């Protein structure tokens, strides 16, 4: 399940970070957005309602949230440095729309067999993986065919 505003706030405070007005706005914007966001687009969203919040604060907050794994960093489809809200509990992956950057989470995939095979064959100690799918969401498919 995706993190709620309350959960994010609690986790930040539990780790000794203050829950400032600016951080609340940034968290709100990330959670409210269906899309993945770059620092710049996130700043634009936050800036609408809170014109006094600077881009620097966005960077610093993203850094903290990534550190605490409250947000996920996306890579697929060309653009790095895009973020989406994280999940509590489950390990999950992302399906990202190349058109509108919207993100759908999914969990049902198990790599344990593959990881075991890879470990046996390569001798690597596997610490993690990165899996993303990209394509077009239903809405963007319609837009495209409608043109």
- Residues lying near a copy of itself in the complex (CB under 8 A) are found at 75-77, 80, 95, 97-98, 104, 106, 108-109, 114-115, 117-118, 121-138, 141
130: partner contacted, choices DNA, a copy of itself, none (Cβ within 5-8 A by kind)? a copy of itself
The answer to whether residue 67 forms part of the interface with DNA (CB under 7 A) is no
Rounded CA-CA distance 85/133 in Å is: 17
C-beta closer to a copy of itself: residue 7 or 115:
115
* Residue 21 found at the interface with DNA (CB under 7 A): yes
131 interface partner picked from a copy of itself, DNA, none, CB below 5 to 8 A per type: a copy of itself
Residue with tokens 């994010």: 8
* Options 6, 14, 52, 125; binder of DNA; rule CB under 7 A: 52
Residue whose CB is less far from DNA, 13 or 116: 13
**C-alpha to C-alpha distance for 64 and 18, rounded to whole angstroms:** 11
* 21-28 contact pairs (CB < 8 A, 24+): 21/50, 22/50, 22/53, 22/57, 22/61, 23/61, 25/49, 25/50, 25/53, 26/53, 26/57, 26/58, 26/61, 26/62, 27/61, 27/65
Closest separation between CB of residue 11 and DNA, Å? 12
Tell the smallest beta-carbon distance from residue 57 to DNA (Å): 3
């Amino acid at each position: 399940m995706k993190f709620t505003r309350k959960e994010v706030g609690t986790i930040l405070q539990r780790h000794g970070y203050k829950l400032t007005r600016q951080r609340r706005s940034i968290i709100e914007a990330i959670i409210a957005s269906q899309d993945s966001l770059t620092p710049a687009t996130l700043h634009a969203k936050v800036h609408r309602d809170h014109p006094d919040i600077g881009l620097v604060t966005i960077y610093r907050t993203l850094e903290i949230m990534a550190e605490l794994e409250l947000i996920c960093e996306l890579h697929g489809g060309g653009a790095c440095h895009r973020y989406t809200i994280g999940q509590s509990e489950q390990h999950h992956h992302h399906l990202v729309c190349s058109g509108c950057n919207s993100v759908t989470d999914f969990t049902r995939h198990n790599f344990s067999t593959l990881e075991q095979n890879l470990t046996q064959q390569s001798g690597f100690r596997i610490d993690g993986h990165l899996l993303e799918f990209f394509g077009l969401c239903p809405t963007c498919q319609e837009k495209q065919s409608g043109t």
